[in-house]
Amino acid sequence: MSYLSRRSLLQLAGGVAALPFTSGLTGGALAATPGTLTIAYNVNVPSFDPTVGLSAVNPTIQSIYQAVFDPYIGQAPDLSFKPGLLTKWGWNEDRSKITMDVRKGATWHDGSPVTPEDVVWSLTRAADPKGGNPIQFVWSKVGNYKIEGNTITGDVLEFEPTLFKWMAFLTGYILPKAYFEKVGAEGFEKAPIGSGPYKVDAFERNAFLRLKAHPGYWGGKPAFETVVFKFITDPTSRVAEMESGGSDLTFEIPYEEFDRLKAKPGLAGQTKPVSDIAMIFITDIDPMLDRNVRLAAHHAIDKKAIVDRLLKGYGVPISTLEAPGYAAFDPSIKVAYDPQLAKSLLAKSGYSPDKPVKFTIQTTRGFKPKDFEMIQAIVGMWRKVGIDANIEIYEIAKHFELRARHALAPAAFYNWGNAIGDPSTSTGFAMFGPSPHCAWKGKDLVERIGPLWGEKDEAKRIAGYKAVDKYIAEEGEVIPLFQYVQPIIHKKGLKVVSQSNGMILPQLVTPA
């Protein structure tokens, strides 16, 4: 399959399934109790199948998915890979076959064993172009699986250098073949089961999810018997949850509130740079088809001022979609803050502060710390050079819907998660036209990124992505802003393991 034929395979199939099962629990019943960990969480769960639909590629939901489901391959807090339900994995010498060993003794939440057949079924389902997996184009590159004991072999149909990395990332989850085939997709939404450390106990849409420890979990029983995720999308309300004692842990709150709360008796705070970056998608529609407008919009943004003033210094300004720690990060690529250059670029296209170019920029509000306020500040910076941008607020789910339909505004704020730190999962998926995660559909990047997907020479692949990043910066086809530093507030007496991928994993929270 040539890279140019990907378009038919990269369409995001399937919708978000309904979640009809609920609980009669009241808010009072969710109050903190011994043996219970309560997390004030910043997003809702739209679907319980972690392998299909729009929610499957939302990095912010993966904390919940990884509490319930096991990925093929695990990840340590520093993003290094470790055994999950697969204990060994790799290619043969000429990379024409893969081999995987399945963990013995793992069980599903109903007590039945996790088998190699479950793994093969999950991979085959993920590879089905009609199955709705948004990363289908990765999973479809391996097939013809054979099982011998607990070892699985498969043929490499098209080489994918990041195949095993994806097994620890979005949609890389193993589901129970027999149970899923018995109850179907709708039944699975009503009563999902996985093999992870927690099983679903109760759920109320837009309110909460309650989990109970899986006694047969292969990785050992977690410290807390019960975990409650309260879905609180408003950051002010999450702050109030911590001050009232209604929750034990929260994150993604304004940094000034983080500084204030961590100083309060009974509370503690921690921060860590994570693999998420803030960015502004540029859509290839008017007026962004004008290179001068794109570059002016980038040069007019004082990223350091935004980090220092709005984020209290908690952030790392960047010029490409590769953050420090990513495999293709190149510190030599810089897009300077230069408002005079921005003005001169706009003047070449007939724009000025008195005769500004106009467009809409979309943003979330409260999804990430100071997201809306940040866009307000950027719009103010733009106004000074000759850009008049109208702000439109939307929920993160709406962003995914619009992006999948290639219907975003000319500019759209987003936080991009790249838990595996590979350039294909940052620049690649964000900027390759046929990708459903891309806003800039230009042929220029299709031709530059396309050959890199199957490049077997790793040094050449990384160098190729650095060259693409340099080209994108010179053309202004996306506006990277900064690498996030994640603020976590929790009650004293808890030990929370920070993850470089930004996940808050309840199975790694323990009494101090």
pLDDT at 1 over 90: no
| pLDDT for residue 33 | 62
CA separation for the pair 91, 184 (Å, rounded): 33
Tokens matching residue 140? 């479809």
Structure confidence at residue 455 as a pLDDT band (50, 70, 90): confident
| pLDDT for residue 14 | 32
Of residues 421 and 430, which shows the higher confidence score? 430
| pLDDT for residue 325 | 80
CA separation for the pair 460, 229 (Å, rounded): 44
pTM: 0.77
CA separation for the pair 77, 35 (Å, rounded): 24
Of residues 15 and 305, which shows the higher confidence score? 305
Structure confidence at residue 280 as a pLDDT band (50, 70, 90): very high
Q: Please, which contacts does 233-239 make with residues 24 or more away whose CB atoms are closer than 8 Å?
A: 233/42, 233/43, 233/44, 233/366, 233/367, 233/395, 234/366, 235/42, 235/366, 235/369, 236/366, 237/40, 238/40, 238/42
Structure confidence at residue 417 as a pLDDT band (50, 70, 90): confident
pLDDT at 13 over 50: no
| pLDDT for residue 21 | 41
| pLDDT for residue 251 | 94
pLDDT at 18 over 50: no
CA separation for the pair 183, 39 (Å, rounded): 30
| pLDDT for residue 72 | 98
For the segment 267-295, the average pLDDT, to the nearest whole number, is: 96
Sign of the Cα torsion 307, 311, 314, 319 reads negative
| pLDDT for residue 454 | 83
pLDDT at 506 over 60: yes
How far lies 158's CA from each of 29, 72, 174, 396, 457, in Å?
A: 52, 20, 22, 33, 15
| pLDDT for residue 34 | 67
pLDDT at 354 over 90: yes
For residue range 166-175, list pLDDT tens digits in order.
Answer: 999 899 999 9
CB atoms < 10 A from the CB of 189, how many?
A: 18
